[in-house]
Amino acid sequence: MLTKELLAARRYRGKIYPRFVDPRSSQNLEIAERVLAAFREGLGATREELRERLEQLEDHKTFKLVRGLAQLLERRCLFEPRAPVEPRELRRWLFRRGVVLTPEERRARLEEAARAFGCSVEELERAFWADREENHVLRGFLPRFVPRDAAPTPTPTPGLSEEPEALLQQYNLSLAQTLLFDALELKFEVSERYQPIFRAVKRLGLMYEAVEEVPGRVRVRVDGPASLFKETTKYGTALAKLLPALLSAREFRLEALIKDGKRKLTFELDASKRSLFPELSDGEPEEERFDSAVEADFYRRIRAVMRDWRVLREPAILKAGPHVFIPDFGFERRDSRCYLEIVGFWTPEYLQKKLQKLREARPEEPLLLAVDRNLRCTEDELRATGHEFFLYEKRLPLEPIVRRLLTIAEQQAERDRERLRAEPLALDLQGDRIPLEGLAGRHEVDIEALREHLERRLAAGDLPGYRLVSDALVSERALARLKAELDALAARTTEEGLGWEEVEPVLRRYGLGESALEAVGYGIERASLLEARVVRRA
């Protein structure tokens, strides 16, 4: 955003129109190039010297544009004090030696200081106030976008790669965001790419109502955490930050109510103006987008526990009567899904709207509600939504979600058992070891249902040449080779049984574990937790 005094806008008949610039106009491109040149040539200059150069580019028509472009670029500049002597130390040294009354005395005092600090008088003159902001020197330029894992102070570069057209487009975006900073309300319509926009709405802590009045087109009204009746703009920054997400949609239209002094004016923008703005991406990796520490903590824990489920952030848009909403989490395992909505702290009015929306939501997949115990809503109100719910305080418990997901997984497994009983899998078995996990993945069946299916077919003699060993189908020829190697080891020893340290490398070479020993007539006898012998079974 730009500072308020640089907002260039026209007001007419209850509306406000930002004075966007044409980023392809030769006149505007020339202005942007001159501003860029002033910064590029300003390396080593003080902040004050750079501002003086920029002032020379201004006239009564373009001063807001020049200052706006300069403000965007100045945020990417790294200024630092630069002097051969620490300024405060120099001032302290001079002031301790008392007042000088004539130019001659001043010159003599400076020469004395120059000898003491080992530099010239001219260098001392520059160093005296070098720590004041206007005397800081331009050291280099920082990237516009800094990765999350970057160092606290990224390394500046001497070059500024910005193109004039891109700078003008960034100016237009900042101009619109500056206007939205004073927004009391924002309404928008989109016809696609809902999820990045709704993610941004939730990530910015904004409350919203979304209605799908026409199939495929959603109208959204965004409020903020503050009451509109007080006409506060505390959430204006968040509304301004929502604009890039809207601009990423192919079709959109927004209407904002702007507080302009004592007046309320309307600002409108739609996709026909997209060429005025920079190309924008969705931004952060999905894993990093959390509305609260509660969600971030839950996300890490549930992923560690339910490894065979995909855990998704804001996975889908669900219908709730004429409204829509995005649940906080989704869980996917093959063709099974489950959603989790976290009902945390909101205003009483917003909570009642949310409960009404949940009562109208009837997704095909289960929807679980995690409800903050401190909310002013009763369990009867929650039951009336028709969805499963559980209460939490401070930290989301895993147990109710895990229990529900395990139930879904078991239902999925039972469907797979029925399918496998009705229609045996066409198995093209090749290789000495075929892991069940890979086989289950290829045929999209539950691994336990597959195990039962294979056990039935092996018992019926339907899979000749293979045996089920722990978590894999293993060929009889591989087991025969394994047995021969173990027999050879046993024949060479005079002790009772084989040491585990001798047997374990052999099993590992075949990709097998301890359970394969029984299949080849061997077993393990343990004298203690640390001592074990592999012995031949009778």
Average pLDDT by stretches of 10, the chain with 538 residues = 86 92 93 92 87 90 91 87 82 84 86 85 81 84 60 68 90 91 83 71 72 70 51 62 82 86 89 86 48 80 89 80 78 89 68 74 83 78 84 87 92 90 84 88 88 91 90 92 92 84 90 89 80 82
Whole-angstrom CA distances from 416 to 217, 277, 335, 406, 446 are 38, 52, 11, 15, 6
Q: What is the pLDDT of residue 214?
A: 66
501-512 burial: b if 16+ Cβ within 10 Å, else e? ebbeebbeebeb
Please check whether residue 22 is in contact with residue 28, taking contact to mean a CB–CB distance below 8 angstroms: yes
Same-domain pairing of 448 and 483:
no
In a domain, 196, yes or no: yes
Tally the domains of the chain: 5
Same-domain pairing of 398 and 291:
yes
In a domain, 268, yes or no: yes
Of 129, 148, 163, which residue constitutes the final position of a domain? Answer: 129
In a domain, 150, yes or no: no
Q: Which amino acid is at 59?
A: D
Q: What is the pLDDT of residue 87?
A: 83
Same-domain pairing of 178 and 230:
yes
In a domain, 22, yes or no: no
Of 283, 308, 332, which residue constitutes the final position of a domain? Answer: 283
Of 215, 248, 283, which residue constitutes the final position of a domain? Answer: 283
Same-domain pairing of 419 and 515:
no
In a domain, 254, yes or no: yes
DSSP 273: G
Same-domain pairing of 416 and 398:
no
Q: What is the pLDDT of residue 285?
A: 40
In a domain, 162, yes or no: no
Instruction: Measure the CA–CA gap between 167 and 32, rounded to whole angstroms.
Output: 7
In a domain, 249, yes or no: yes
In a domain, 42, yes or no: no
Same-domain pairing of 341 and 292:
yes
Helix, coil or strand: residue 383: helix
Range of the structural domain that residue 91 is part of: 87-129
Same-domain pairing of 330 and 416:
no
The two structure tokens encoding residue 28: 């505007």
DSSP 155: P
Helix, coil or strand: residue 218: strand
Same-domain pairing of 457 and 505:
no
> Other CB atoms closer than 10 Å to residue 14's CB: what's the count?
9
Same-domain pairing of 399 and 311:
yes
